[in-house]
Amino acid sequence: MRVKSIDQSDLLEICRLHKLSFDKAHFTSVLPERLLQKYYEKIIEKCEYGIILYTPEGTGIGFAVGGKDLSGLINPFIKNNFFQLLWLLIMHPRFLIEKVRGVLSLIFKKQNIISEAEVILLSITTNPDLEMKGKGSAVLAEFEKLLTQFGINSYGLGVRRNNKKAIDFYLRQGFRLEFGERDSEYYIKHLKS
């Protein structure tokens, strides 16, 4: 297994892994290839921490990417691709309803809950085509190794409440529930120095 820090040269493999593994309940699963590439170009550009694991043959095993200040990360992507994203939302109305509900909850929210985590894990996935036990744990372990090299003591992530498989995985990996909002739960993990 080869581990490397993510850079733009990994973009096509990251998009391939994303398409293979992201659940159809996630809006990014309906993005056309070129739009998904633009999405991850922005993420790779703005996120300080990212790793990708490859087999010796060069097939992606999985990746994890995150950063410290993710506010406004996706806004330039949305602005530059507004009409194409709007069209996708119209073509997939359940996502349109989900996004409208999200905006309304932001408008009417009484307080904004802020995570204690130093870094937010924005995207993580593994290759479902590889029959390899422990690949998710391996991706997280390498991501955590990278974080500790930079003196990071905690990181967190958001997951949909109905994604029980992912929640069970994160709990087994030592995460604890930090808070819940609407359809999501936020988990945090403190790293050992």
CATH code where residue 63 lies: 3.40.630.30
Task: Indicate the number of domains in the chain.
Answer: 1
Average pLDDT across the chain, whole number: 90
Q: Could you tell me the residue range of the domain that residue 20 belongs to?
A: 2-190
Q: Which residue's entry shows tokens 């080869």? A: 2
**Confidence band, pLDDT 50/70/90 cuts, at residue 104:** low
The pLDDT value recorded for residue 111 is 58
55 dihedral zone (left: phi>0; alpha: psi -120 to 50; beta): beta
Judge contact between 52 and 142, C-beta under 8 A: no
Which pLDDT does position 107 carry in this prediction? 64
Average pLDDT over residues 124-135: 90
Sheet holding 49-54, edge to edge: 2-5, 49-54, 60-67, 119-126, 154-160, 184-190, 176-181
What is the mean pLDDT of the segment spanning 163-188?
92
Which two structure tokens, joined as six digits, stand for 54?
């490859």
pLDDT recorded at residue 17: 96
Statement: residue 168 has pLDDT above 90: yes
pTM: 0.89
Q: Are 148 and 60 spatial neighbours (Cβ–Cβ below 8 Å)? A: no
Report the 10 Å Cβ neighbour count for 53. 23
Beta-ladder partners of 2:
54
